[in-house]
Amino acid sequence: MPNAPTKAAPKATTQSRPNPLRTTLPRLSLRALPVWRRNLRVWRKIMLPSIMGNFGEPVLYLLAFGFGFGLLIGEVGDIPYIVFLASGIICSSAMNTSSFEGMYSAYTRMSEQKTWDAMLGAPLNLDDIVFGEVLWAATKALFAASAMLVVASVLGLVADARALLSLPVVFLAGFTFGSMAMIMTAVSRSYDFFLYYFTLILTPMLLLSGVFFPMDQLPPVVSQVMVWLPLYHVIELVRPLIIGQWPTQVLLHLGVVLAYGLAALSIATALLKKRLLF
């Protein structure tokens, strides 16, 4: 009996799955605001201990180094060292707070609590969730910096009302460092991974971007590298406002910080799409 004819195997398709890394900028939408609002409502339940935490370590740095080293150093340029330090601590507090929020807190909501999975069941996409998380990290940075600004004002370290103009800069800094932290969240498989980022990225920026001592005291090679990093540009904008002066090269500094933020947000969104959706 002759063999029955068999169907030809279907031809393999050459169409490939979309590559989430082939993106420019994520789609920014007001749908990110419900994500931000949800995080705010959760934070309000632990608001008091969180605010106290915003005061804790930065105030310790300010008092210990400001009054300790300040007695030995005297002045930096033409301003007291504790005033110089206060402006740097405001910036570093925003950096650390937004980075912590963009890593530990966002990772918890993504991986442990599965909050993002529930959000994706709503009329939200991953672009909205990531943008909302970054906006929340920037808001936490604003809270932390505002707390430090209050402390500096009480101690008489703020020259005049121009210091209030530092708050929008701090919010932008929180956006940038929160976006950078979200890249770590996208590639991390556990909380332990974040220690590498704090040790290898944030700590060198904290020590070498002008928080504790002026950049002109660094070796030329080191100072030439650090001027490319975002914290330096944030400090260059905030410090003059704290001491009662107007910053120079404002557009340059704002442009560098914003460029870091938008690039990091784009990379983080693409990596999270690859991890969660593909």
In a domain, residue 176? The reply is: yes
Cα 201 to Cα 177: distance, rounded to the nearest angstrom: 11
Tell me if 125 is assigned to some domain. yes
Residue 17 lies in a domain: no
Residue 19's pLDDT is 52
Residue 7 included in any domain: no
pTM comes to 0.87
H or E element at residue 112: none
Is residue 10 domain-resident?
no
Q: What is the spatial distance between Cα 170 and Cα 230, in angstroms, rounded to a whole number?
A: 12
Average pLDDT, integer, range 26-55: 85
Task: Please say if the pLDDT value at position 29 is more than 90.
Answer: no
Q: How confident is the model at residue 70 (pLDDT cuts 50, 70, 90)?
A: low
- Cβ distance 202 to 99 under 8 Å? yes
Q: How many domains does the chain have?
A: 1
Between CA 130 and CA 106 the distance in angstroms is 9
Q: Residue 188 above 60 pLDDT?
A: yes
- At residue 54, the pLDDT reads 67
* 95, pLDDT greater than 80: yes
**Which contiguous run of DSSP H or E holds residue 196?**
helix 194-197
What's the token pair of residue 12?
Answer: 């393999």
Average pLDDT, the chain: 86
Q: What is the full DSSP assignment across 229-258?
A: SHHHHHHHHHHHHHTT---SSHHHHHHHHH
Question: How far is Cα 63 from Cα 70, in angstroms, rounded to an integer?
Answer: 10
Q: Which domain holds residue 184?
A: 32-276
Burial of 3 (0-12, 13-18, 19+ CB in 10 A): exposed
In this predicted structure, the answer to whether residue 21 has a pLDDT above a threshold of 60 is no
**How far does the chain reach from its first CA to its final CA, in angstroms?**
49
Model pLDDT for residues 190-247, shown as the tens digit of each residue = 999 999 999 999 999 998 888 888 887 778 888 888 888 999 999 999 999 999 999 9
CA separation for the pair 74, 70 (Å, rounded): 5
Nearest to 214, CA basis, from 29, 90, 92, 81:
81
CA gap 108, 50 in Å, rounded:
17
% of the chain surpassing 70 pLDDT: 87
Q: Which residues pair with 79 in a beta bridge?
A: 76
DSSP 8-state secondary structure symbol assigned to residue 80: E
Q: Find which of 24-33, 44-53, 168-177 is predicted with most confidence, using mean pLDDT.
A: 168-177
Give a yes or no: residue 27 inside a domain: no
In a domain, 13, yes or no: no
Q: Which pLDDT band, with edges at 50, 70 and 90, does 12 fall under?
A: very low
pLDDT value, residue 15:
40
Distances (CA, A) of 267 to 32, 38, 157, 180, 270: 18, 24, 39, 9, 5
Q: Is residue 21 part of a domain?
A: no
Distance CA 110, CA 117 (A): 7
Which residue type does 122 have? A
Burial of 114 (0-12, 13-18, 19+ CB in 10 A): exposed
pLDDT tens string 131-184? 999 999 999 999 999 988 988 898 888 989 999 999 999 999 999 999 999 999
